[in-house]
Amino acid sequence: MAKISVFGIGYVGVVSAACLARDGHDVIAVDVDLGKIKAINAGQSPIVEEGIDALVAEVVASGKLRATDDFAQAVLDTDASFICVGTPSAPDGSVGLSYVTSVCESIGAALADKATYHSVVVRSTIVPGSTTEACIPTLERFSGKVAGEDFGVGYYPEFLRESTAIADYYDPGLIVFGYLDEGTRHILESLNKDLPCEMHQVDIRTAEMVKYTSNTWRAVKVTFANEIGNIAKASGIDGQTVMEILCSDDKIAMSPYFMRPGFAFGGSCLPKDVRALRYLANSTGTPAHILNAVLDANEAQIAKAEQMVIDSGTKKVGFVGISFKPGTDDLRESPLISLAARLIDKGVEVNVYDPFVQEAYDTGTPGAGRGNEEVPDLEDRMVADLDELIESSGTVLVGNLYKDTVERLKSAAQNRPVVDLTRLNREMTSNSQYQGICW
């Protein structure tokens, strides 16, 4: 069991401290608010939350939780410090770090007088880069020590929902933490090893980004549901019923397949259906903020890919894939068709390797080339051999992922520019030769 100091007796701090104490750890809750400290030490919760009153009373009575305003002693008496203070928005909308850095100053000053190793773990919601650019420099400056060598650092975001926080603590949908050193990793791993959830151990910036992505995704879902509800109501339909039915589909509607950063969406359904729903909204006088943004953002992703090819300096690009997704010859509203047409209009020579579109042309399929209204002479631009396409191209653009092409394309990325819109391999990230659209 560990000895842990929790800085900040607010919502996250109280729930975290009480649950850690119930798990058998010795916990010190730390704050400047004497009222909160007095409440904790009297076995009373300073926050309102389902089940928290009984839990605080239980762990205080057992001697596993106490509270203090002595920051230095709390650090000296524990193995790790969790920072759980608030990060309210600054006037310009940026994250407010003043409470976090203030606590880091106090912890750093205490570390200066501590001979044993100590880990500092941030749980407050802070934007990517905050731990390394604000917290660590502050801790090092006030302690006179080096992070990762003389003391540990981690970022361990919480995903607690008010009113169900204790239940969420013990049955989380997501566990992620970043760490600078093995000592901190070991502490965080041991705290989570018995919980019924996959434990994602990543770098600190990734953990910070996951927290913001999770919160923003929740906000997007609420706004999307509201927009659908507004459009449905204006059309005489119950929007809650629509969304309840949608959420019952965990094969497609809730699938992670569509949550993979990459290129724009296309095909015979998504573009036209978003446009049609937007038209319906407009026809009923209902604002469609999300639908407008979806179409604008999709167009911007095509423009981004176009600029990536232009920036590569090529006058001859070889497309690997031209259909709207791999495994089909369907070109209807394919964003790759739109991208190819834009490049051709700018004087770039475009050739294409796509085994499924090629098969349709070779076999004389009646629907060969279906949906292509933008790329002139597409059949003449087709190249049946991948090696021939690569060797004859200045830049190779990977638009669709075909498993049997991966190794050859990875090799090509060693000696020529490659623009990847789908990600050949998770180990590949952008460098001077290889450019991934979102990685």
Residue 46 labeled ligand binder: no
Strands 175-179 vs 152-155: parallel, antiparallel or unpaired: antiparallel
381 among the known binding-site residues? no
Count the neighbouring beta carbons within 10 Å of the beta carbon of residue 266: 23
Q: Is 256 labeled as ligand-binding? A: no
Output DSSP code: residue 135.
Answer: I
31 marked as binding residue: yes
Helical spans, DSSP H, in 144-234:
165-170, 182-192, 204-234
87 is in an annotated binding site: yes
Q: Which residues, 6 or more positions from 425, have their beta carbon under 8 angstroms from its beta carbon? A: 406, 410
Of 165, 275, 259, 257, residue with least CA distance to 217: 259
Annotated binding residue 259: yes
Helix, strand, coil abundance in the chain, percent, nearest 5 = 45, 15, 40
407 is in an annotated binding site: no
266 known member of a binding site: yes
Q: What is the Cα–Cα distance from 44 to 55, expressed in whole angstroms?
A: 9
Any known ligand binding at 356? no
Q: For this structure, is 269 an active site residue?
A: yes
Note whether 235 and 280 are within 8 A (CB): yes
CB 364 within 8 A of CB 358: no
- Choosing from 84, 104, 197, 269, which is the catalytic residue? 269
What tokens were used for 63?
A: 């001697």
Query: E-strand spans in 69-141?
Result: 80-83, 119-122
Phi, psi of 342 (to 5 degrees): -65, -45
Q: Does residue 261 have a known ligand-binding role?
A: yes
- Structure-block tokens of residue 160: 């607690």
Is there a binding annotation on residue 332?
Answer: yes
Residue 258 assigned as binding residue: yes
- CA 130/CA 126 separation, integer angstroms: 6
| 161 is known to lie in a ligand binding site | yes
The answer to whether the annotation marks 349 as part of a ligand binding site is no
Residue pointed to by tokens 């019923």: 241
Annotated binding residues for NAD(+), written as ranges, equal: 31, 36, 87, 125, 162, 272, 332
By annotation, the residues acting in catalysis are 269
Annotated binding residues for substrate, written as ranges, equal: 159-162, 211, 258-262, 266, 325
Annotated binding residues, written as ranges, equal: 31, 36, 87, 125, 159-162, 211, 258-262, 266, 272, 325, 332
